[in-house]
Amino acid sequence: MTIGKRLISAALAALIASFVSSPLLAQQSKGKILIVLSSEQVLPLKDGKTFETGYYLNELTVPAQKFAEAGYELVFANPKGNVPAVDQSSVTTDYFGGSKNALESAQRFQGTLTGLAHPLTLNEVAHQDLSQYKAIFVPGGPAPMIDLMANDDLGSILRYFHAHHRTTVLLCHGPVALLSATRDPASNQAALQAGNVDQARSLAAKWPYRGYRMTVFSDEEESIAAKNVFHADPLFTPQQGLETAGGKVSTVAGWKSNVVQDRELITGQNPASDAALADLTLQTLSAWK
């Protein structure tokens, strides 16, 4: 082979190698992860007070970036198909190890998520072929307590994932969205908000996650948030909601990383659990056939 042909051959091989390892092809080879966010941002609290919220920046971007870098395509959805709001109280180095560089990197990655600006509606997703999704992920921030936990379409999606043993991942306040899979999620939410535990328990009688081990933003952490962030008490806590429905909730000391896996369900307790949750999800997906 002449030098010229060897150079051309080497260049062609390099081009093919770079093409095969491109993010697009990697994403296509691994499949899709459905990321579900709230459409709302005003959380009702006791005594008529409210709190402006949304998704926590780190709870979305840290796992999402790990998923994308591992080769998964990210598909975003929420109830209304509107642009989801980020909780501004999460846009701080406090949730990124005190690092300004890490915060700015997360914001840059957030800006690359074109699907975040044009999410599907949950109704559209519920009528799709759900087998195209390898996993579903619900980040936290308190916003899932506003609409996701009461959304029938999300309940339908979650019941499919449960029945087909598809990886189901929720972080911080996100696990409260599992209550959308109760018999009448809007009534269940109303009962919890009114403090009617017996009614809420009755509505969750056939909840598919009854008896599952899970974690969620703890009552201890919610009490701290009520005092220092919300400046008012919540109508109910996510831990109370899941325990009332029959979830076996376990938590650790506030603000410590904690991830719990039971069958297809992976839950993380708080913002500090973001990376561990993502890593366990990727391990689970790599073992799934």
List strand residue ranges (DSSP E) for the chain, in order.
32-36, 42-44, 50-52, 73-78, 120-121, 133-138, 167-171, 213-214, 248-249, 259-262, 265-268
Which tens digits make up the pLDDT trace of 27-50? Answer: 456 999 999 999 999 999 999 999
Note the pLDDT of residue 9: 43
φ, ψ (nearest 5 deg) of residue 189:
-60, -45
Mean per-residue pLDDT, 104-126: 98
Does pLDDT of 26 surpass 70? no
Write down the pLDDT at residue 288.
Answer: 74
* Alpha-carbon gap, residue 196 to 276, rounded angstroms: 35
Residue 207 banded pLDDT, cuts 50, 70, 90? very high
Kindly report the pTM of this predicted structure: 0.90
Instruction: Please report the pLDDT score of residue 289 as a whole number.
Output: 58
Q: What is the CATH number of domain 31-287?
A: 3.40.50.880
Q: Convert the pLDDT of each residue in 59-105 to its tens digit.
A: 999 999 999 999 999 999 999 999 999 999 999 999 999 999 999 99
Q: Quickly tell me which residue has 């328990």 as its tokens.
A: 201
pLDDT in tens, 144-197: 999 999 999 999 999 999 999 999 999 999 999 999 999 999 999 999 999 999
pLDDT tens sequence across 8-23: 344 434 333 333 333 4
